[in-house]
Structure 1
Amino acid sequence: MKKFFVFLLVATTLVSCKESASNKTVKTADIKFTKEGELTLSKADGTTIATLNIEFAETNYERETGLMYRKSMDNNQAMLFIFDSSLPRSFYMRNTYIPLDIIYLDEHKKIVSIQENAQPLNEEGLPSEKPAMYVLEVNAGLTAKWSLEAGDRMTFQKL
């Protein structure tokens, strides 16, 4: 009889835990863009191409997370990844829902290569053609619209 009551108690507990867990809805907050600086892209001759509001990714966590989980980004917004040194870089689109152009820049802030139209959620590596110290992510299609190419430059300032 005692075993029956223990069994009944355990079964009731398991069922009630399962029911209460399945009734919960997990809500996630949208990640909002936070303007931390301004960035200007220029042709090699100094002609301004575009000026963008940017967020910085400077810590390991920020660089690992990047634009993951975001649903959208305005065309005048971008994320600038800053590394300590110039090395060959490769980015991928894990947990990234926005199609992006990925722009690799050297330590002199000069574009060394561009990966256009990186597809959302694609985990294939998208490498730089040369060592890069900075990586700029913008909405897909903007590099073509701006006729951006290797040799063009950027400047930026933090707020």
Structure 2
Amino acid sequence: MRLPPIEAGAAESPWRRLRLGLAAVVWLASATAALAQSLENLTIRTASGSHAFAVEVVRTPEERAIGLMNRRFLPADRGMLFDFGETAPVSMWMKNTYISLDMLFIRADGTIARIAQRTEPLSTRIVPSGEPVLSVLELNAGTAARIGARPGDKVEHPLFSGR
């Protein structure tokens, strides 16, 4: 459907509002589709075996700032891997995040440094890494306990290859 052009002096016209609304819907749909297409395989090796996940990898400051904010659902076999690009102490929070999460803080060699379990949704409380890490993996709350993940367990993903 083609809408009529916006005319001068029609800044608050219903057509302008409709066009802006449609543009926002198209942008959100394309952003969601882009995220859905960028899933990568990740495996966590624990004493109980290998556990496979499909993860969204966020690499830019803008992507990391948004993370899983405003999402109301995360499939059980999905997660988000935050790539910080360098090893450093990091801090996370749950602001505008409606899903309780487990946060796995991961060293450059792919070993788990720390696990923050069942984080509180919508909290602005800081969740620190406790030591320098390269990345953080966010999974649904309870996943780390369910698969038996512990500090020292190995996460396999191309991000950790050759380190």
Q: Give the shorter-chain TM-score range.
A: 0.7 to 0.9
Offset at 1:157?
4.4
* Alpha-carbon distance in structure 1 between the residues aligned to 2:108 and 2:56: 19
Aligned to 2:104: 103
After the TM superposition, which residues 124-139 of structure 1 pair with which residues of structure 2 at under 5 Å, given as runs?
124-139=125-140
Task: Render the CA deviation track for 1:95-149: whole Å, top value 9, x for unaligned.
Answer: 1011000000011011000100011100000111221101000000000111111
Conserved? CA contact 1:96–1:121, under 8 Å = yes
Q: Decide which structure has the larger Cα Rg and report it.
A: 1
Aligned to 1:6: none
1:37 to 23, 33, 40: 40
Aligned to 1:93: 94
Q: Could you tell me the TM-score, scaled by structure 2's length? A: 0.74
Which range moves more in the overlay, 90-99 or 26-35?
26-35
Aligned to 2:6: none
Offset at 1:83?
1.1
SS at match of 1:117: coil
SS at match of 1:118: coil
Segments of 4+ moved more than 3 angstroms: 26-33
Structure 1 portions without partners, runs of 5+: 1-16
Task: Render the CA deviation track for 1:13-33: whole Å, top value 9, x for unaligned.
Answer: xxxx8xx9xxx9x89768576
Residue 81 (1) aligns with residue 85 (2): no
Offset at 1:58?
0.3
* Alpha-carbon distance in structure 2 between the residues aligned to 1:84 and 1:113: 19
The alignment of Structure 1 onto Structure 2 pairs a total of residues equal to: 135
One-letter identity of the residue aligned with 2:135: Y
Q: Could you tell me the TM-score, scaled by structure 1's length? A: 0.75
* Alpha-carbon distance in structure 1 between the residues aligned to 2:152 and 2:130: 13
SS at match of 2:117: strand
* Alpha-carbon distance in structure 2 between the residues aligned to 1:113 and 1:66: 19
Aligned to 2:147: 146
* Alpha-carbon distance in structure 1 between the residues aligned to 2:140 and 2:157: 18
Q: Percent identity?
A: 29
* Alpha-carbon distance in structure 2 between the residues aligned to 1:101 and 1:131: 18
One-letter identity of the residue aligned with 1:84: G
* Alpha-carbon distance in structure 2 between the residues aligned to 1:146 and 1:100: 14
Structure 2 portions without partners, runs of 5+: 1-11
One-letter identity of the residue aligned with 2:140: N
